């Protein structure tokens, strides 16, 4: 992932992760997020409306960084890219999705929760991953433990992140943003 994208995610700090059932709701939601000072959104592929919602936000002309979330396979990654997503995000480490994204020069943020998955990400040449599900996988103590042998890796903790704890995650030097 390039420095500009990382910088934008870091400036945002908090990335709203949304499930959109009707694509028509995507642009009004993106506008509301922008009015609230949030210029990034992760639209998850948990519904059939995801690709259409991404495309609607992209075509709206709004200056929003669009992350396509819950991308479980290459087919969804391709649909997200064609719809206009800026970044592919997955809940786990899927080597075929990572490989495809790298081949397409598409930024990818795979999910990890173990040293083995983190090693796979490092071996693929990645320097930024999603820590998911953050709270259930050990939260801040686990993230600190994983950072020990991987000091250059940067993280986006997601899952169990709330208004009560997201600031605690953002205080960690290895955390770029939270979802």
Q: How do beta strands 154-157 and 65-69 pair? A: unpaired
With the C-alpha atoms ordered 106, 134, 121, 99, is the resulting torsion angle positive or negative?
negative
Question: What is the spatial distance between Cα 128 and Cα 121, in angstroms, rounded to a whole number?
Answer: 8
Active-site choice (3, 6, 82, 130): 130
**Which DSSP string corresponds to 49-108?**
THHHHHHHHHHTT---EEEEE---SHHHHHHHHHHT-SEEE-SS--HHHHHHHHHTT--E
130 catalytic? Reply is yes
42 catalytic? Reply is yes
Query: Is residue 156 within 8 Å of residue 177, measured between CB atoms?
Result: yes
Question: What is the spatial distance between Cα 73 and Cα 30, in angstroms, rounded to a whole number?
Answer: 25
Query: How would you class 97 by CB atoms within 10 Å of its CB: exposed for 0-12, middle for 13-18, buried for 19 or more?
Result: buried
Active-site choice (3, 19, 31, 42): 42
Cα angle vertex 44, ends 172, 63, to 5°?
A: 75
Query: Is residue 30 within 8 Å of residue 57, measured between CB atoms?
Result: yes
Catalytic machinery residues:
42, 130
């Amino acid at each position: 992932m390039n420095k500009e994208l990382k910088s934008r995610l870091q400036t945002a700090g908090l990335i709203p992760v949304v499930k959109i059932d009707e694509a028509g709701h995507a642009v009004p939601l993106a506008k509301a997020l922008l009015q609230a000072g949030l210029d990034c959104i992760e639209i998850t592929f948990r519904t059939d409306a995801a690709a259409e919602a991404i495309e609607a936000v992209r075509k709206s002309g709004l200056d929003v960084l669009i992350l396509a979330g819950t991308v479980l396979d290459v087919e969804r990654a391709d649909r997200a890219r064609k719809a206009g997503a800026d970044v592919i995000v997955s809940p786990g480490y899927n080597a075929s999705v990572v490989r495809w994204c790298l081949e397409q020069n598409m930024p990818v943020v795979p999910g990890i929760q173990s040293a083995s998955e983190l090693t796979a990400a490092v071996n693929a040449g990645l320097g930024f991953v999603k820590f998911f599900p953050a709270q259930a996988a050990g939260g801040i103590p686990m993230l600190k433990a994983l950072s020990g042998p991987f000091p250059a890796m940067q993280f986006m903790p997601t899952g169990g992140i709330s208004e009560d704890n997201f600031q605690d995650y953002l205080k960690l030097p290895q955390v770029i943003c939270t979802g």
